[in-house]
Chain A
Amino acid sequence: AQSVSQHNHHVILSEAASLELGCNYSYGGTVNLFWYVQYPGQHLQLLLKYFSGDPLVKGIKGFEAEFIKSKFSFNLRKPSVQWSDTAEYFCAVNGLNAGKSTFGDGTTLTVKP
């Protein structure tokens, strides 16, 4: 069975601070990895994804994530956060051809102006 662990439940940063959210997964095969974002009162939307190739992937709004296979990790980063990045962030893993994803419990990011 696949599982996803997000280490930080709530992160509070000031604007312009750097961000790194941890995500580790457990799965015994090839995976697709995702970060989704949910802004207050809205639905989840895709931030970025990794399927194969360059392990450093770039997404929308200046976010990036690095897949480290040996550590089963897919951490999300942003060099300088903005107040508008306040949201809940979900890491998800999808086994190849599994047809469904497993989501982490989410990390709430609060950015203080």
Chain B
Amino acid sequence: DAGITQSPRHKVTETGTPVTLRCHQTENHRYMYWYRQDPGHGLRLIHYSYGVKDTDKGEVSDGYSVSRSKTEDFLLTLESATSSQTSVYFCAISDRGETQYFGPGTRLLVL
């Protein structure tokens, strides 16, 4: 398995609070991605990064922001969590933007 970790693995928070999820890789891959997985919706891309400080929006980016200050870390922030953001969040990495390798996921519950 590729060297990808996500933290925290589980989180319960309240509506309106900020939440930051971290993805860390040891593979030195250029691309990093944040997805959310919900029943009936498959995987939906939130944001992705194609290099340090280079990020772009995915199809469900509203309410989320990201930062990548170094190659190995990609942070996803929910500025003000809502119940609709309850989901499983997966980070993925890719060397050339093709095959992706996924992290273990973070289960987020927003009450």
Chain A positions near chain B (C-beta within 8 angstroms): 32, 34, 36, 42-46, 49, 51, 90, 94, 97-106
Contact A100 B58 (CB under 8 A): yes
What's the minimum C-beta distance from A62 to chain B, rounded to whole angstroms? 20
B interface SS class: strand
Which residue, A34, A43, A44, A51, has most C-beta atoms of chain B within 10 A? A43
Question: Which of B45, B58, B90 meets A44, CB within 8 Å?
Answer: B90
Which residues does chain B contribute within 8 Å of A36, judged by CB atoms?
100, 102
Chain A residues near B58: list those with CB within 8 A: 100
A-B contact pairs, 10 of them (CB 8 A): A36-B102, A43-B102, A43-B103, A45-B1, A46-B99, A97-B97, A99-B31, A99-B50, A100-B97, A105-B42
B16 to chain A, nearest CB (A): 29
Judge whether A44 and B99 touch: CB under 8 Å: no
Give A25 to B65 CA distance when docked, in angstroms.
29
- Least CB distance from B89 to A in Å reads 11
CA distance A62 to B29 in the complex (A): 29
Q: List B contacts of A106 (CB < 8 A).
A: 42-43
Q: How long is the Cα–Cα vector from A44 to B40 in the complex, in angstroms?
A: 16
Nearest-neighbor residue (CB-CB) of B104 within chain A: A43
Check A103/B43 contact, CB under 8 A, given A43-B103, A43-B104.
yes
Q: Is B33 an interface residue (CB 8 A)?
A: yes
Residues on A with C-beta less than 8 A from B99 are: 34, 46, 49
1/0 per residue, CB under 8 A from A, across B11-33: the answer is 00000000000000000000101
Contact yes or no, B45 A100, CB < 8 A:
yes
Q: Which residue of B lies closest to A107 (CB)?
A: B42
Measured in the bound complex, the distance between the Cα atoms of B42 and A90 in whole Å is 8
Return A100 CB to nearest CB of chain B, in Å: 5
Interface pair A98/B97, CB less than 8 Å apart: yes
A2 → chain B, closest Cβ, in Å? 11
Complex: A51 Cα to B97 Cα, angstroms: 13
CB-CB nearest in chain B for A105: B42
Whether B48 is near chain A, meaning CB under 8 Å from some CB there, is yes
Q: Are A104 and B105 also in contact (CB < 8 A) when A94-B97, A94-B98 are?
A: no
